[in-house]
Every structure is written in structure tokens, then in C-alpha cells.
Amino acid sequence: MATALPATGLDTPIADPLRRALRGLGGRATVGDVMAATGLAQADAESGLKGLLETYQGHVEVGEEGDIVYAFQRRLLRRDHTPFWIRFRTAAARVLKTAFKIWIVVMLVVYFVVFVTLLIAALIAASRGNDRNGGSILGGGRRGGGFNFPFLFWIWAPDWRLGHPYYGNRFERRSGRKVPFYKKVFAFVFGPDRPRPSLRDRDRGIIRLIRARKGTLTVPELVRHSGLTVPEAEEEMGRLMGAYAGDVHVSRGGELVYSFGELLVSAHGKVRAREPAPAWQRLEKAAEFTGNKTGTNVLIGSLNGFNLLAALSAPVLIFPPLGLAGLGAEIGLIWVPAVFSTLFFSVPLGRWVGHRVENARRRLRNVRKVLLGMVFRQSLGGGAALSAERATDDVRIALVDPNIGAADVRKQLQGIAAEFDAEVEPADSGQIIYRFPSIRSALLGGEEVRSALRLDKRSVGRVVYSSADTPEEESARAMANFDRELRKSVSAPDSVRYLDDLELAGIETPSPPGRQVKPRRRAGPRRPHRW
């Protein structure tokens, strides 16, 4: 009896033989290869390969004769595989970032208050001839300054949940929640937090697309939705097939079509889903550098600038009037705050380069998404062949950005053409034009399989068993189901018909040569004879 591999594809008795077989086959195998290498039954081999697609990097391919090939990385790399040095760098950056955040709160606010207090004390001491009877230097008297409750409330904002991310001023306005000042300080230095959708968040959108497409999906349709490259979409299709009990079909034109029948079965009747917006209607805005208002950034910069100037001028303005000296005073009031304030300004300056690179990447992704819209429109017969010159003009208009480079558009268009095996030819005007017949062929293949499978017609139907039934209810339900099936198989004798011996034996009578036999009309109930 076949034992299907669960979705994880890792912890089953047949997982280890499958992995060994795939490594021995170089990562590429058909179901027949796996059966021969492991001795597994066909159902086990096929379900096992689909299960491994969810966990390991791989995709499916189709041969000229319609055979399915499962293609994995030779080393069977997990989909969440990350090289050690990247993991180490990420962990070290996280630790340093957390430590620096704590240091920021302590240093920026505390040193600001300390320096304000010391400068006031130094001014008073200088004006009174170093007479310090007016109170404690560090705030014991009324002139000493120090912390107060409104100041602490403004810094920490107790109504803000600790650890809650701050996505910038736009998020603050939208949520209506008061963001604490320290969060804005972190955003000044490290930038605002970025929303990081989980794998489940991304899958929900794809599942909605699958449901809207009646349970089937092709690689070009996934590219249209996500903006992924074709190789990335093929990898993603392999993972989805393993995660959501998918299957793969080959259209008459040789196109791969993936089906997910279980996603079309609902306890609430026929599944109706609205198709998500395509990639070119979900462009990325430019990332914000700090996410703060300009006034907030000026205030934070002024606080740190004051600390830096106070530390550098302490040997002249603070130490002599107050009689401070020694290595401890120099380290605590000069070197530590000076180094901190310098780093406080240096981190945003260094981050500025990465910020520009990130926005450049977003701009290129937006260019690709807009070009995909043009390519799909052209493929479905809604537009003429594309040229790089015309595409550049259209992209600039769509993105409302006249500074989009023609070279960037041409490079993205050439990349899309390579992915979809476009037809490239020179036009009479001397321009290079692109046509994408493979996209139309793939979409037609998807519609062909979609119409044949008719997964959208599936439904749960009448309930034939419920674990909540009592024994009496279970027996009554079973008897009702039996009666219903019996009525389907037994026809009522409201009409009869006589058959001769040949018809009863199922033997067809040959017709004479050259004579056309008209099809016999189906017998119906005989009319009563009128005497």
C-alpha cells in the first residue's frame, strides 16, 4: 500500500532513499528513474518527488514526448539555504545593531542632559568666581536641571508596545498611534523598519490567483502576477506543487500546466475568488531614508550635534570653571561622547549609499513590471510589436519619470525576451522589435487544460458522514444514502421495449453493400391502439 509523503518531504521512511537516489542521478530524474533506483512503488515515488519540491530547490520540466522530469540542485539545497558567511554576517549585524540601539538611548539623551547641566553650572561658576553654593552640579538644586516626568513620557511614550516596528511617519499617521521618540532616533540612524511578509502572506495572494484561475496556473501567469523572472517562477511552481498537493499536466502544445484541485473544494459551495492585480499595478514606492518628518530629523541631528560640540569644547568651557581634570573626566566627557556622536552621524552617511542602491533596484523592478504589462498586452493581440525606443517612452509615461534611462529599459526588455524566447527581428525603420508568441501559446495551453479539468465544478456535495452523529443518526444517514444510491441505479418500469436475439447478444447487423442504413429512432412508449 502506498504511503504518501507529507508536505515537508523530510521526515518519512521514503525520504532518505529518495534523496540518495536523486544525488546518484545528479538531481534530475523521472518517476521511472526513482522507481528503478529505490524500488518504490509509482505512487510513493511520485508523491515523494512532489513532497521534496516543497523543501528543496527544484522545478519540473517536460520532454518532447510529454514526459515529466524533476530537476533539483545536484547537492539538494534546501529552499531556505543560506551560506554560512551570510548567516554569520546577518547575526553579527543584528547583535551590533541591538547593542548600538541601547547605547543610542543612553548616550544621546543622558549626555545631552549632562552637558546642559554642566554648561549651566560652568556658566554660574564662572560668573560667581567659581562659587558653587547654588546647588549640586548634577541637578540636586532647581538650577541643576535633570529629568522630569513629561520629558520621560515624550522620550518613551508608554502607550507604545515595546518591540513594535516603526515604518515611518506615514505609518504613524495611518495608525493614529503616537510613536515614541526613541523609535524615531533609531529610524534616523538605521532607517525605518521594513515590512517583511512571511511565506504564508505571499502564498495567500498566489492561492487567490489559483482559485480565480479555476485551480490551474502556468508559469507566465505567475510571472504576470508576481513580476518574478521565469526561472524564479519555475522554482516557485515546484514549491507550490509540493506544498498544496498540486499536479502537473502537459497541454497539446507541450506547455506545462499546474493544477491544484484541493484549493477548489470548499464547504461553502462553489469557490469564487477575485483575481489579484497584476504586477504592473503593484509598483514599489521609493524607500524612505528615515521615515521621519523633517523637523524631527533636524531635532535629532541638533541633539547629537550639541553633544559632539560640547564634548570637543569641554576642555575649554567645562573643565576649567568646574575644576574637573584627570583621565576619567577626559574619557567620560570627551572621548566617549565624541566617538559616539561621530558614529551617530557616520552610520546614516554610510547607509545613504545603500539607500540609493535600494531605490535604484526598486526602480528597475518597476521598469520590468511595466514592460511585462506591455509584453502581455502585445502577446494577446492588443498591441503592435515592441521596440526598445517605444518601450522607453511608454515606461517613462507610466512611471511619470522622464529620467528613466533608455539603457535600463533596453536591458530589462532584452532580459524578458530571453526568458520567454521572444522573436527578435529588425523593422523597416532600423529598430529592433520583439514579439512574444510563447506567452500566448502558454496561456492557450493553460485554458485548454483548465477547460478539460473543470476543477471549478467540484463541490463537497451532500454530507454522508459526520463525526458528531450519534449512533442512531449515523445509522439513519447511512440508510438514507443507501436509498438515494439505490434509486439512481434502478429505473422505474414506466416504459418497455422488446429486443430481438441479435440485439440482446450485442451483435451489430452488417448493412448490405451500397445501402445506407438510417439510424434507428429510439423506441419510446407505444401509443395505445384505438379499436
Q: Which of 81, 103, 119 is the last residue of a domain?
A: 81
Number of domains in the chain: 2
255 in a domain, yes or no?
no
Could you say which of 81, 113, 137 is where a domain stops?
A: 81
Residue 146 lies in a domain: no
Instruction: With a cut of 50, say whether residue 2 has pLDDT above it.
Output: no
In whole angstroms, give the CA distance from residue 42 to residue 33.
10
Q: Identify the CATH number of the domain in which residue 3 sits.
A: 1.10.10
CA separation (Å) from 273 to 80, 212, 220, 257, 447? 30, 5, 20, 20, 17
Residues of the domain holding 13: 1-81
CB environment 232-251: b (16+ within 10 A), e (fewer): bbbbbbbbbbbbbbbebbbb
**In-domain check, residue 184:** no
pLDDT digits (tens, 9 = 90+) for 405-460: 999 999 999 999 999 999 998 887 778 999 999 999 999 999 999 999 988 777 66
Q: How many Å is the Cα radius of gyration of the chain?
A: 37
What percent of the chain has a predicted confidence (pLDDT) above 90?
Answer: 31
Q: What is the pTM of this model?
A: 0.68
Q: Determine, yes or no, domain membership for 28.
A: yes
Asked whether residue 188 is domain-assigned, the answer is: no
Predicted confidence (pLDDT) at residue 77 exceeds the cutoff of 70:
yes
- 3 or 215: which carries more pLDDT confidence? 215
Q: Judge whether 170 lies within some domain.
A: no
Helix axis angle, 84-104 relative to 181-190, nearest 10°? 140
The reply to whether 502 falls in a domain is no
Which of the four pLDDT bands, split at 50, 70 and 90, describes residue 180? Answer: confident
In CATH, what number is assigned to the domain containing residue 408? 1.10.10.10
* Coil vs helix vs strand at 27: coil
What residues are paired with 387 via a beta bridge? Answer: 433
Give the model's pLDDT for residue 143: 41
pLDDT for 136 beyond 70: no
Residue 244 grid coordinates: 498544496
Beta bridge partners of 386: 434
CA separation for the pair 120, 128 (Å, rounded): 12
Contact 145/171 with Cβ under 8 angstroms?
Answer: no
Phi, psi angles (nearest 5°) of residue 128:
-105, 15
The DSSP string of 423-446 is EEEE-TTS-EEEE-HHHHHHHHHH
Last residue within a domain, chosen from 417, 448, 479? 448
Is 296 inside a domain boundary?
no
